[in-house]
Amino acid sequence: MKRSLFALARCCQLWCVCLALPGCESGGIAEGSVNGISYEVHGGRGLEINDNAIKISSGKNVLEIKDGRVSLNGKDRGPIKSGDSLVLNAESQLSVNGEKR
């Protein structure tokens, strides 16, 4: 229960930080860390955490992390775990730990 509340609090904190960034709505960078996975999403506008799934929206792109897998727009892009780092750049290219997926 404490972990779920922490995740919710962290989600709200990251969302508020994103809203406070100048230009976030029109192409800013959403960045942070959730469940030990650091992320940087160019144009990121929304972060959702529910049922152990993380969903980040960026324009037409939807990045989802669930059950140890990462997907982009519904297409599986491989495994991801705590300690990994992912980047979704402005050209919709996804990389995990510096490797394109």
- Which residue range(s) make up the domain with 36? 2-100
Give the number of other CB atoms < 10 A from CB of residue 15: 17
Q: What is the pTM of this model?
A: 0.68
Low-confidence stretches of the chain (pLDDT beneath 50): 1-3, 5-6, 8-9, 11-26
- pLDDT tens-place string over residues 72-82: 999 999 999 99
Mean pLDDT of the chain: 78
Judge whether 3 and 10 are in contact, CB under 8 Å. Answer: no
Count how many domains the chain has. Answer: 1
User: Sign of torsion, CA 41 13 68 55?
Assistant: negative
